[in-house]
Amino acid sequence: MPGIVLIGAQWGDEGKGKATDLLGDRVDYVVKFNGGNNAGHTVVIGDKKFALHLLPSGILSPGVTPVIANGVVIDVEVLFDELTALGARDVDVSKLLVSGNAHVITSYHRTLDKVTERFLGKRQIGTTGRGIGPSYADKINRVGIRIQDLFDEKILRQKVEGALDQKNHLLVKVYNRRAISVDEVVDDLLQYTERLRPMVADTSLVLNQALDRGETVLFEGGQATMLDVDHGTYPFVTSSNATSGGAATGSGVAPNRFDRVIAVVKAYTTRVGAGPFPTELLAPEGDWAYTAKAGEFLRSAGFEFGTTTGRPRRCGWYDAPIARYAARINGVTDFVLTKLDVLTGLERIPVCVAYDVDGTRHDEVPYSQSDFHHATPIYEELPGWSDDISGAREFSDLPRAAQDYVLALEEMSGSRMSAIGVGPARDAIIARHDLV
Ligand code: GDP
Ligand code: IMO
Ligand code: MG
């Protein structure tokens, strides 16, 4: 099974890092193909907890060659900070490969991310403030800086000059900030050149050759389907393609080399930042299962606080139309259902099976932004369970109601549920079908 894509089905933080780590001993390469240090993956190995942002989670598996491919935007300072921190914890980081075509996040991207958000006021997206959007905007505008530019000071200087020309007008005249000098940006970037040099490779060639040899390559998506710039809840999205198609453009490996698409999906739903979220639990009063108190239950039982920004995540029930949408957009062959253990103790568990939009039933995610904004969930309630399931390692170890919950979700979601997470630890998983 040589080419495997692993992506998020919802709005991120589904547990992709743990799922990647789980497959780590069966794969040869783990490739990050989109996003940057906006991602936050928590991986728990024994009594150690790792928080990864820019590096692919596969870096924690000793046999794996981690790759940062062309589709990623790289904050070079963050790259070396993360490498140093992992090195200090005895993680072997020496095999990392970085694409020379990946774009760089510079100080002006970070500044612009923050000031544009501030100026958006009520319409703000709630970005992670890491400079992701401005860096991708420069890429598309053809004024971006690439990793390979760091190896030619003259070209780097020209490109930074070109990029800053307009941006300084914007920063000074519109946003009332100080101008950024070409020298400070160039000097800042050049200090990393020699450390970067040995890592930089033609990663598309390396990965295709690995696949030719029959080796297994896992493409690990950052963010998730509903945050994808084309298929998510635009404009409340990130600026890259987090869906499976992004794995091809973001790595230089053709779509016909992908044998499997694994989507990680939480047993409920969370979202960080602004934008529509039909099953979000907000009601101040009423039936407990539909109030903010139920949302608070999910947040505290699931420890739903952002790995990157520490923000509390918005919480709501499982949304089957979104899972079906993710199955369709990504060509999902297998779901990994995570955090089933978080639902333990609930008497009944609502699941959104369709939406009501101004009196009309929608079985699929409405294609129009304003319809999705107005969508209210149509729920079915499934029976809950009270036994602790964190020790379950076989499907049959689960209480009947938990089994039925998984089977009901499988039925509604458009693909099989091949693994089920029952806790944060590496081994807290029930395997139903082989993933590799
Ligand atoms: P990612 O961005 O998709 O990699 O996910 P995050 O790491 O941001 O968030 C997922 C969180 O859930 C992490 O803290 C994981 O340790 C934790 N986690 C993953 N799978 C499970 C599970 O099955 N049960 C529980 N309780 N926690 C899990
Ligand atoms: P992982 O990989 C959850 C959200 C931000 C914001 C929007 C745009 O851990 O699942 P950006 O900084 O990317 O321009 O912000 O996207 N966002 C995430 N939400 N998990 C993530 O990554 C996210 N990366 C970005 O909160 O709403
Ligand atoms: Mg995360």
Per-residue pLDDT of 19-62, as tens digits, reads 999 999 999 999 999 999 999 999 999 999 999 999 999 999 99
The CATH number of 266-431 is which of 4.10.640.10, 2.60.20.30, 3.90.170.10, 3.90.1010.10?
Answer: 3.90.170.10
The answer to whether residue 13 is catalytic is: yes
Give the residue among 430, 3, 431, 432 at the shortest CA–CA distance from 215: 3
Tell me how crowded residue 279 is: count the other CB atoms within 10 A of its CB. Answer: 26
Q: Which single residue is written with the structure tokens 């990393």?
A: 192
> Can you read off the two tokens belonging to residue 409?
């979700």
Give the residue among 346, 427, 347 at the shortest CA–CA distance from 394: 427
- Residue 295's contacts (CB-CB under 8 Å, 6 or more residues apart) are 280, 281, 282, 314, 315, 316
**Over residues 87-106, mean pLDDT:** 97
Atom of ligand 2 nearest to the CA of 127: 15
**Over residues 83-92, mean pLDDT:** 96
What's the 17 CA to ligand 3 centre distance in angstroms?
Answer: 8
Strand partners, 74: 104
- Minimum mean pLDDT range among 81-85, 120-124, 182-186: 120-124
Q: Would you state the pLDDT for residue 309?
A: 84
16 lines ligand 1 (CB under 6 A): yes
313 lines ligand 1 (CB under 6 A): no
**Over residues 269-282, mean pLDDT:** 97
What is the three-class DSSP state of 375? coil
Q: What is the pLDDT of residues 348-405, one digit of tens each?
A: 999 999 999 999 999 999 999 999 999 999 999 999 999 999 999 999 999 999 999 9
**Over residues 204-229, mean pLDDT:** 98
Work out the pLDDT band at 137, boundaries 50, 70, 90.
very high
Domain range annotation of the chain: 3-99+201-263, 103-194, 266-431
The CATH number of 3-99+201-263 is which of 2.160.10.10, 3.40.50.2300, 3.40.50.9100, 3.40.440.10?
Answer: 3.40.440.10
Ligand in closest contact with the CA of 238? 2
225 lines ligand 1 (CB under 6 A): no
Give the residue among 89, 180, 100 at the shortest CA–CA distance from 134: 180
23 lines ligand 2 (CB under 6 A): no
What's the 246 CA to ligand 3 centre distance in angstroms?
Answer: 18
Q: What is the pLDDT of residues 399-418, one digit of tens each?
A: 999 999 999 999 999 999 99
Chain-wide mean pLDDT for the chain?
97
Q: What is the pLDDT of residues 293-312, one digit of tens each?
A: 999 999 999 999 988 888 99
The answer to whether residue 113 is catalytic is: no
Whether residue 235 is preceded by a cis peptide bond, meaning omega within 30 degrees of 0, is yes
Take atom 3 of ligand 2 and give the residue whose Cα is closest: 12
b/e code 143-173 from CB counts within 10 Å (16+ = b): bbbbbbbbbeeeebbebbeebbeebbeebee
Work out the pLDDT band at 1, boundaries 50, 70, 90.
low
> What is the CATH architecture of 103-194?
Orthogonal Bundle (1.10)
Angle at 70 between CA 104 and CA 230, to 5 degrees: 95
Q: Would you state the pLDDT for residue 113?
A: 97
